[in-house]
Structure 1
Amino acid sequence: MTVAHHDPTLPEVTLSELDGVRYLHLDSIWVQGAMRIAKPRVLELEYIQRMMAWMLWRPSAELAQGHAVQLGLGAAAITRFCHQVLRMRTTAVELNPAVIAACRMRFRLGADDERLTVLNQDAGAWVREPANAQTVDVLNVDLYDHEAAAPVLDDERFYADCHQVLNHGGLMTVNLFGRHASFLASAERIAAAFGRDQVWSLRPTREGNTVVVAARGVVVPGREELIARADNIEKRYGSLGVPARKWLRMVRPLPDPAN
């Protein structure tokens, strides 16, 4: 199925379905998002599940507080989860109006309300906007071209702007390709903007997606506290595709390129 739009400069949005899962594509065979039709709040894709690993860095009492922002809507899985499950104030920023239309019509993304705002804007411009500085507690960055080959925003300036929009104690997750030659360069740009001691990565998924977590002024708790947080997260949200104990086993500090 094709979702029509009127901007020829942007990739065409198409949908497919297989074994009860609906997929979103951007003018290619590559999957840009997915939703299990019978369970729309479950996080279907493994890398999307890992994009929620920021939850480990937040105290349990503050887990679902604050403002969550997604750059790049995809099939709206993270936006749905933050808005409908965590019930956070949630903003999504998406350049392609056809992606927004597809998510509204076919991926259970509701209309804007007092906690949800979906913006048809350029993500790079949004993080540069002075009015957005220090307004975000959780920032999820998943910005890929239509062939899913490389991030479309991946320079040090962009990551510095991402750092700037975060409140103190805020967290960012970024989807990168861990087996791609550009991963280390991208990770170093993030470290330059956030500080190496505020950047961690998870192991690559089978498909090669590596999620990087970066923080603004977060004090990492001890192992026992992290285990307690993971247990709490999995007890509350594990059935929705949030395997926090597994994340804890695969989190690593960013490797030092000098070693």
Structure 2
Amino acid sequence: MNETIKNILSHRSIRRFKDEPIPQETIETLVQCAQAASTSSYQQVYSIIGVEEQSLKDKLAELAGDQSYVAQNGYFFVFCLDYHRHQLMAEMTGGNVDATVQSKEGFMVGMIDVALASQNLAVAAESLGLGIVYIGGIRNNLREVSELLRCPDHVVPLFGMAVGFPDASPGLKPRLPQEAVFHKNQYKDDEKALPVLKEFEMKTAEYYKERTGGARDEGWATQMARTMAQPKRTYMKEFIESKGLDKQ
């Protein structure tokens, strides 16, 4: 097993960082790694905003649900789906990309590009001994986040990532067994899937019980059923369309 695989398999979210900035050269290297990710048809439908001003980080922490590690870290990135650049390109060349930008496929391409770039950055950061945590909480108040970061039409901040020198060492959180997520040739039927899920339910219940000293003992399925009982951020469709995206 090489060092890259060891680092990937050792991933855990870090929510407490040392008060130590990340060198600018390292920041630029991490962004370069993000840009090296695969991108659909060379479109590169993303931008990355590096939030350096403490006042902006403090406000983002508030908008994300008062998550302190959004404000207290070595560096904070915001990953955005970005078709604004493509609109500028179309104006520059006399073309028209509206149909693609407004399509469902176009929106999916953008989200996939963002995810690939961000995970490249995460793996690179962890290979340097840094810790990371993804911040989906910025979507709690996406209109305000967008205004704070001055994102024009066709640009949507999808999530943040706090990066820094770890000041905590949480345990590895169990993942679903490979039998639950890896299907060979055809999707497994429920008769084969259910026993695996039931076993994972017991394993994760034991994990939470141990981690919280008995204060919490729900398994993964119980947790997911509870948290997914009601949809979240139901304003999203209207907001995305207001940005000129996903209209078709």
User: More strand per residue: 1 or 2?
Assistant: 1
User: More helix per residue: 1 or 2?
Assistant: 2
TM-score by length of structure 2 reads: 0.28
Larger Rg: 2
TM-score by length of structure 1 reads: 0.28
Q: Which protein, 1 or 2, shows the higher relative CO under an 8 Å CA cutoff with sep ≥ 6? A: 2
